[in-house]
Homo-oligomer: A and B are copies of this chain.
Amino acid sequence: MKNYIIHDEWKIIEEGFNREDNRITESLLSIGNGRNGQRANFEEKYSGDSLRGSYVAGIYYPDKTRVGWWKNGYPEYFAKILNAANWIGIDIWVDGEALDLNKAEIRSFYRDLDMRSGLLTRRFVAQFSSGKQIEVHAKRFLSIADQEIGAISYSVKALNFSGELSFLPYIDGDVVNEDSNYDENFWIGISQKITGSSGYVCLETKKTAFQVCTGMNFRATFNNNLIAPELTAVEKEKFVGAEFKIQVKPGDEVCIEKYVAISSTLYYTPKKLQEATEKTLKRATDKGFDRLFANQETAWKIRWETSDIHIEGDVAAQQGIRFNIFQLNQTYLGDDERLNIGPKGFTGEKYGGVTYWDTEAYCLPFTLGTAPQMVSKNLLLYRYKHLQKAIENAEKLGFTDGAALYPMVTINGEECHNEWEITFEEIHRNGAIAFGIYNYIAYTGDKDYLAPYGFEVLLALSRFWSQRINWSEVKKKFVMLGVTGPNEYENNVNNNFHTSYMAVWTLKYTLEAIDYLKKEHPLLFEDLVIKLKLKELKETSRWKKVIKDMYFPYDFTRKIYLQQDGFLDKELIPVSQLDPKDRPINQKWSWDRILRSCYIKQADTLQSIYWFEDEFDRGSLERHFDFYEPLTVHESSLSSCIHSILAASIGRQEKAYEMYLRTARLDLDDYNSDTCDGLHITSMGGTWMAFVQGFGGMRVRNEQLHFNPFIPEGWKSYSFRINFRNAHLEFTMDNSNFRIVNHSKVAVEIVVQGKEYTLAAKKELILEN
């Protein structure tokens, strides 16, 4: 745990330079705009510890996988989003000595990320070995209004000397990933140019042949007056820059405004790429920093209007939830169904920027609740477009007849993971993808999604499940052997409750979908039967048998479902009895010891119990929670949100709050000592769920919004907003009232604590707490 970030309602603040935590701060203050992500690296040279990261959405390299022993079915490569050209660079020299905060004496240092506008600010005074002092004030943002634009304002004031300042703004494409086999370079230079203050570097990725063109231009002022200094072009391999020198006296200030355009062949043909970059660059330069930033502020204001959560009386919690919402919003804008949300977004290299089941399980509720419907639909279409690859993936493993196994990790639909116990066994991801379809339709009411897209995916998933199980002669039941549940601290277990439950549920839901399509769209269904070679009678009768006779491990004494067949053979010692020195166990214990222990990395049985809460009575929910929560170490960032919601659901408000805080401030306080690698972007969706579904008690049942809110102790009030179908609602909870405002033009029916209310357009409803 770290505790150096200053608590503030809207800003993430570092006061004084925490050199040894620089990677953490670089992650926390990352900026992005859905197309690009940029860690909070310094503009000027820095020889201290830093993870340089400039990422461009969708631009990946298929790196060679590393395995001990190859196993049939492993993928050939691991896709990783690349560290792309450094666009922030501005080197500074004072009388020939380079500014480097690892070498200069830092007299004062402050940086913050303003979440209202996505503006990263840094101010410091640095003293050189010569005693000369400068004051620097740097600001930058990536525009969400014009997604190919980044802008930097960087000013240097001479404090106590007369002498020469040199500036070198540049674009540097000669970059590597920290995580690469034998420090391979993944970029090939295609073209580059520098003319006056304007230049670009166009690069192509090896193997995948994506091209990215990064252009820059800048203008300089001297004591706020525009100047036209003499520029010296600096060109190296994959590097362009323009240097100028200027004489200063104490009190003089030189400021650079650097404009950057980043375009990729995801959006332009290679031929048009350079032209497009130059056009964008001209647009940015013409507007200037202030107008670009005004647009940025407006765009963010609109985002915050539909997604902000406000808390009165708890600054730490307020900062936490806004940080989560902010980062989600700048990671994925939802306008391109080829993109998705990686576990670390564009804030670091770990996980390679690729897609996991996190999206459906933890991010979709957020986009459903806060963004236009199309954003969530694009997340679903991402999978739909990968269906053929998922079928091929299943074929590689020996499945037939159109069964699909979606990859555990992917960027283009192909599996990129190569640990057998996960690649082949963590198949509950198929369940999450089916649940995503269900969740989308239940929330939006968009049943029309089924016929062209959803059903095709559901059918392929059901076909997979019906082949993946087998009949056990001893149990006289269908069993699911050799799986790994969400709890990755158990591998290759039999009859993992969550996986089996998702399998059976998927079969049921697919049967429902067939019934619906046959009834409502019989002609479309006929087409689908032929297209998908559906042998309805044969296939559905098998599914029905499986639904009827699936085996779930159960403890008749405790009256709970067991995470897997052998769970009770383990020594059940609550986490509370572990020596704190042993935590986190994934850093302190051998893998062998973890696997044999009872400790649960993340919600597993409780994951499906959360998803299908209504199929369990209150007593059962309590029994399961009371059994599993004490054994859960929450060493996955995706765990505490689920436990928080369930705790809220059974009235354990204190526990719900504890779990919530853990997920909300996971990165800000570096709970798991890994924020240095990047932020836990997908778990931030879980934080939002924990708030709205936990504290707000929001559920969707039978096309209606249900609420069962409470307010954590010590808070004065909180409020959140929700898009639901055509309505936009605002909820405010304080210690006396629960107030609902319908901001939209349609009436909405909602159910609060079991009671139904109709809320007319533009009206509000105030209920006593």
Give me the interface of A with B, judged by CB distance under 8 Å. 65-69, 71-74, 78, 181-182, 396-398, 417-421, 424-425, 470-475, 479, 481-482, 491-492, 494, 565-566, 568-572, 586-593, 595-596
Contacts and interface: CB of A to CB of B under 8 A. Distances in A.
Given A66-B67, A424-B590, A492 B494 contact: no
Contacts of A479: 569
Given A67-B68, A68-B66, A482 B595 contact: yes
Nearest to A586: B72
A569 B72 contact: no
Nearest to A494: B566
B592 A424 contact: yes
A689 to B, nearest CB: 27
B69 A419 contact: yes
A596 B397 contact: no
A479 B566 CA distance: 10
Given A68-B67, A472-B568, A568-B472, A397 B592 contact: yes
Given A182-B182, A492-B491, A596-B482, A71 B568 contact: no
Contacts of A74: 591
A566 B565 contact: yes
A470 B570 contact: yes
A491 B493 CA distance: 10
B492 A569 contact: no
Contact of A73 (B425, B565, B591): B591
A270 to B, nearest CB: 31
Contacts of A68: 65-67, 78, 417-419
B568 A473 contact: yes
Q: How many copies does the complex hold?
A: 2
Contacts of A182: 181-182
A408 to B, nearest CB: 11
Contacts of A73: 590-592
A572 B473 CA distance: 9
B424 A569 contact: no
A72 B590 contact: yes
A491 B494 CA distance: 12
Contacts of A571: 470-471
Nearest to A566: B494
Contact of A592 (B425, B568, B592): B425
A71 B471 contact: no
Nearest to A405: B592
Contacts of A588: 72
A593 B591 CA distance: 24
Contact of A470 (B471, B592, B596): B596
Contacts of A424: 590-592, 595
A572 B571 CA distance: 31
B398 A592 contact: yes
A72 B474 CA distance: 37
B481 A596 contact: yes
A617 B591 CA distance: 40
Contacts of A565: 565-566
A588 B420 CA distance: 16
A425 B68 CA distance: 16
A588 B595 CA distance: 30
B420 A591 contact: yes
A487 to B, nearest CB: 14
